[in-house]
Amino acid sequence: MRQRQLGPFTVSAIGLGCMNLSHAYGVPPSPEQGAQVLLKALDLGCTLFDTAALYGFGANEELVGKVLAPHRSRFTLASKCGMQGVGGKRVIDGRPATLRATCEDSLRRLRTDVIDLYYLHRWDKAVPIEDSVGALADLVKQGKIRAIGLSEVSAATLRRAHAVHPITAVQTEYSLWTRNAEVAVLDACKQLGTAFVAFSPVARGFLTGALRDVATLDAKDIRRAMPRFAPDNYAANLRLLEAFEALAAQAGVTPAQLALAWLLAQGDHIIPIPGTTSLAHLADNLAAADLDLPAEVLARAGELINAGNVVGPRYPAAVQVEIDTEEVPS
**Amino acid, single-letter form, for residue 186:** L
Among 55, 119, 174, 315, the one annotated catalytic: 55
Q: What is the dihedral of CA 289, 293, 295, 297, to 10 degrees?
A: -120
Q: Angle 255-264/241-251 helices, nearest 10 degrees?
A: 80
Orientation of helix 59-68 relative to helix 96-110, angle to 10°? 40
SS3 268: coil
240 CB-near residues (< 8 Å, 6+ apart): 304, 305, 309, 310
Closest to 298 in 3D by CA, of 308, 310, 306, 287:
306
Q: How far apart are CA 60 and CA 56, in angstroms?
A: 6
In this structure, the number of other CB atoms found within 10 A of the CB of residue 270 comes to: 21
- Taking alpha carbons only, the member of 157, 152, 178 closest to residue 311 is 178
How far, in Å, are 155, 268, 328 from residue 36 at the CA level?
Answer: 38, 30, 38
Distance CA 65, CA 186 (A): 31
The CA-to-CA distance between both ends of the chain, in Å, stands at 38
Any catalytic annotation for residue 119?
A: no
What positions carry a catalytic annotation? 55
